[in-house]
Amino acid sequence: MKLYYAKVLNPRKVCAVAQYLNSPVEYVYVNLGRGETASPEFLKVNPNGKVPVLTDGDLTLWESDAIICHLARKAGSNLWPADDADKIEVLRWSSWNANHFTRATGALYFEHVIKSMFGMGDPDPAEVDPAMADFHKFARVLDDHLTGRQFLIGDDLSVADFAVAVSLPYAGQMKLPLGDYPQIARWHDRLNELPAWRNPFPPSPAKAA
C-alpha cells in the first residue's frame, strides 16, 4: 500500500490511523507548496488533486474517512466495529463531522494555520467569525454526546474518533475555546494518550510524489 499525504488536516487522521494500526504502508510525501497535487502524475492517482490518497493493489481510494475505514477493516481492527449498529454510528458521526463540525473548524484551520504556513496573509474576520459561531453550535452537540462516554461510540475507540477530533490538535493555533467544552477536552486528552495521535506523520518526508 502507498499512502500519499501532506502535513495538513485530513491526511493527519489517515496517518494517525495507519500509525496506530502499524499498517504496512509506504508513505509518499506530496509537497503542496510546490503544487505537486496538480501535477499530471498525481492527477492520475487522484483526479480531484487532493491528499490523502491510498493505493492498495488495484484499489485507489481517496477521501480520508473512506481510507481510515479501509485500513481498519483490512487490519481486522475493532476501530471498524463488528456490530452493524455501531457501523451506522460511525457513518453518522463521520457524516456529521464532514458537514458540520470540521466544516467549521476547517475554515478556522485555513484562516489561522494554512494562511500562515503558505504566507497568505492574516486571518479574515469575515471568515473567522461565522466559522467560530458554527464551532460553538456544533461543539455543544458533541460535548453533550460525549457525556458519560469514553469515546464517540460508547467506550470503544473507533475510526469516528480519529475523524471527528482531527482539528483539535490545532486548537491553540485556531483559538478554539476548548475550556468551554469539558467533555470534548477530556475526550481529546484521552486521544492524546495515543502516540499515533500525538505524532501521526512519518519522522521525515519520503521522496516527493
44 and 100: one domain?
A: no
Residues 105, 65: Cα–Cα separation, whole Å = 17
Task: Identify whether 33 is part of a domain.
Answer: yes
Specify the CATH number for the domain of residue 73: 3.40.30.10
- Residue that finishes a domain, picked among 57, 78, 99: 78
Instruction: State which residues form the domain around 156.
Output: 84-196
- Residue that finishes a domain, picked among 50, 78, 106: 78
The CA angle 67-149-186, to the nearest 5 degrees, is 85
Task: Identify whether 156 is part of a domain.
Answer: yes
Task: Identify whether 209 is part of a domain.
Answer: no
97 and 180: one domain?
A: yes
107 and 143: one domain?
A: yes
pLDDT in tens, the chain (209 residues): 999 999 999 999 999 999 999 999 999 999 999 999 999 999 999 999 999 999 999 999 999 999 999 999 999 999 999 999 999 999 999 999 999 999 999 999 999 999 999 999 999 999 999 999 999 999 999 999 999 999 999 889 999 999 999 999 999 999 999 999 999 999 999 999 999 999 999 976 544 43
Residues 12, 15: Cα–Cα separation, whole Å = 5
31 and 106: one domain?
A: no
- Residue that finishes a domain, picked among 63, 78, 93: 78
56 and 94: one domain?
A: no
Total number of domains constituting the chain: 2
187 and 91: one domain?
A: yes
